[in-house]
Amino acid sequence: MTADPHPAQGSADSTVVQVILAVALGHFLNDLMQSLIPAAYPLLKDNLALSFSQIGLVTLVFQGTASILQPLVGLYTDRRPLPYAMAAGMASTGCGLVLLAHAQSFGIVLLAVALIGLGSSIFHPEASRIARLAAGMRPGFAQSLFQVGGNAGSAIGPLAAAFVVMQRGQLSIEWFAGVALVGMALLWGVGRWYVAVGAARALARKSRARTVQALPTATVRIGMVLLIVLMVSKFVYSVSLSSYYTFYLIERYGLSVNQSQLCLFIFLASVALGTIIGGPIGDRIGRRRVILWSILGILPLTLVVPWLPLVPSVIAVSLAGMILASAFPAMVVYAQDLLPQSTGMVAGLLFGLAFGIAALGAAGLGVLADHWGIVSVYRICSVLPVLGLAAFLLPDLRD
């Protein structure tokens, strides 16, 4: 990408699509590498004789590392921007992949995924802040485009695992460290844009934010607490699919590993489609409505999934994933509207909570799967969207 897209220089309200696309592509590469972790779980489980509880602990370490650090990174970069931090995050992820490829013990696997989680904690809040900065008056569009890059990467990960890692073995994971090098070069260019143009836009937006009357503290608190409740509903159900869907399909329907990976790809592709839809619709009709209908609206689908035959089940899961995914871009922008002077911290907080909730959910679901079976876990998770009723209480910021 070029370091000096001229439309950005005229006004902080203009939308710099080149920068948003570059950050979205970086998100694609980042999440492609990270999605190799859950996609390779069946291989690691066999090679290292891991239990479901240990699989859950791997997810806990990976996502927990990112969860704890992301808000701190976002808070720091709001005050002291680090233009080249995203490239450094890619380097950490690449090192983690190399270590994971050569891991011969459970402890080394945990260290490898912690490095990958560190890379994620550096990348996500800063990338989301840059996307918001380049968005101008279209924050929902920018957040959706940014997030769909990550969803697309997450969808390609299982295919890469099925056709490369599962065919050639654990050592082939290190091949994907080359993706980190490409991401480092791309995001270095984004850093150059920030130094040349973005920093001035950031100052202009902060100056404007100081002149706008702040929302009442009670409104901000209520909004953030309700968002956390809704994120529990969304991400525990989502992690039940991203971490255990292949095991569920194998046990429930007798699919092969490769067949289950293709079903996981269909689900993740639907998630990517839903993410594209959520942000632009939120720009038009309001974030609150998108959040409400996307989380609560999947309840009829999730309730019937555990009782359906294979093909209808895959279709229902994919539709639920698409509808549910439309919520997160709206959640991020809604939270940034609550705290407009701390967009990096807010993004880091929500991404961190997403990772943390998913990590704890994965660990808990792994323990339940060991004791009660994976099919029972999906019956329990089917009622989680009931928490979406909390969206009715979200303050309407358009008022």
User: In this predicted model, what pLDDT tens digit does every residue of 81-99 receive, in sequence order?
Assistant: 778 889 999 999 999 999 9
Structure tokens at 234: 């969304």
Q: What is the mean pLDDT of residues 293-320?
A: 85
13-393 has CATH 1.20.1250.20 classification: yes
More confident site: 199 or 221: 221
pLDDT at residue 10, as a whole number:
45
Average pLDDT for 139-155: 79
CA distance 50 to 96: 19
81 DSSP assignment = -
Give the model's confidence band at 2: pLDDT under 50 very low, under 70 low, under 90 confident, else very high: very low
The Cα–Cα gap between 286 and 333 comes to: 10
Rounded Cα gap, residues 24 and 272, in angstroms: 12
The band of 4, judged by pLDDT with boundaries at 50, 70 and 90, is very low
pLDDT at residue 320 above 50? yes
Q: Alpha helices of the chain — where are they, by DSSP H?
A: 7-10, 17-39, 41-48, 52-79, 85-101, 106-135, 139-160, 166-168, 177-193, 199-211, 217-253, 257-285, 287-296, 299-304, 310-325, 327-338, 343-372, 374-381
Decide if 77 contacts 376 (C-beta within 8 A).
Answer: no
DSSP 321: H
* 41: nearest Cα among 170, 133, 181, 127: 170
Q: What is the pLDDT of residue 269?
A: 80
Checking if the pLDDT of 24 tops 60, the result is yes
